[in-house]
Amino acid sequence: MKRKNQRLSLLILAIAAVVAAVLLAMSALKDQAAYFYAPADVARQGLPLDRAVRIGGMVKAGSVKRAADGVTIAFVVHDETPNTIPVRFRGIVPDLFREKSGVVAEGRFQPDGLFVATEILAKHDENYMPPQLDGKSGEHKSESLK
């Protein structure tokens, strides 16, 4: 191979590799990125059935119920609008999961509107608020140290 050509062909190869990677990444992103929905968003845009999403809001007072197996819970998420999302989750909920407190869940909607969560996002301390909720409900804004 000639001198001039090798540097050029390596450069083209490098650019091609990076472009291919970014294209691969973008196409995977289209399928895999989980969008965030508040109850009001679901009411406005309809149920996103084709992909995993995140939902977030406040756990409605008195809505948490345990199933007979002892490890499945059901609860209702609401926001400042009248809309709600019923959620079912099988697993150990994070320590700070409680009624009238913020929650973010990842999972899929069923056609009947039930949200089956695969994960309830852990909250690391009592001041922590999922970033998605920060703007959504003023009185529960995370408290920063400074």
Partner 1 sequence: MIAETGLAALWLAAAMSLLQLLFGIAALRPAGAELLRAVRPVAVAQALLVGIAFLLLIQLFLRTDLSVALVAENSHSAKPWLYKFSGTWGNHEGSMLLWVSVLALAGAAVALFERKLEERTLVATLSAQAAIGLGFYAFLLFASNPFDRLDPAPLDGRGLNPLLQDPGLAFHPPTLYFGYVGISIAFSFAVGALVTRDVGPAFAKAMRPWVLGAWIFLTLGITAGSYWAYYELGWGGWWFWDPVENASLMPWLAATALLHSVTVLATRDGLRAWTVMLAVVAFSMSMVGTFLVRSGILTSVHSFAVDPQRGAFILALLAIYIGGALALFGLRVGTVKEGTTFEPVSREGALVANNLLLTAILGVVMVGTLYPLLVEAVGGEKLSVGPPYFNAAAGPIALLLVLIMGAGPLLRWRRDRLGELTRRLIVPLAILAASAGAVLALAPGIGLLPLLGLVLALGVGAASLAPLWKRNLRRTPLFTWGMVISHLGIAVSLGGMASESAFSKEVLVAARPGETVKIGPYAIRFEGVEPVAGPNWTAVEAKLNISRGGGAFVLRPQARMFTAPPTETSEAAIATRLDGQLYTVIGKENEGGRWQLRLWWKPFVTLIWLGGALVALGGFLALIGRVRRGGRKAARIDEAWA
Minimum separation from the CB atom of position 86 to partner 1 (A): 21
User: Beta strand pairing status for 72-78 and 84-90?
Assistant: antiparallel
Angle, vertex CA 84, rays to CA 74 and CA 70, nearest 5:
5
Which among 14-22, 42-50, 76-84, 109-117 is the span making contact with partner 1, rule CB under 8 A?
14-22
Under rule CB under 8 A, residue 48 binds partner 1: no
Under rule CB under 8 A, residue 36 binds partner 1: yes
Residue count (the chain): 146
Q: State the binding string over 88-107 for partner 1 (x if CB under 8 A, else -).
A: --xxxx-xx---------x-
Under rule CB under 8 A, residue 22 binds partner 1: yes
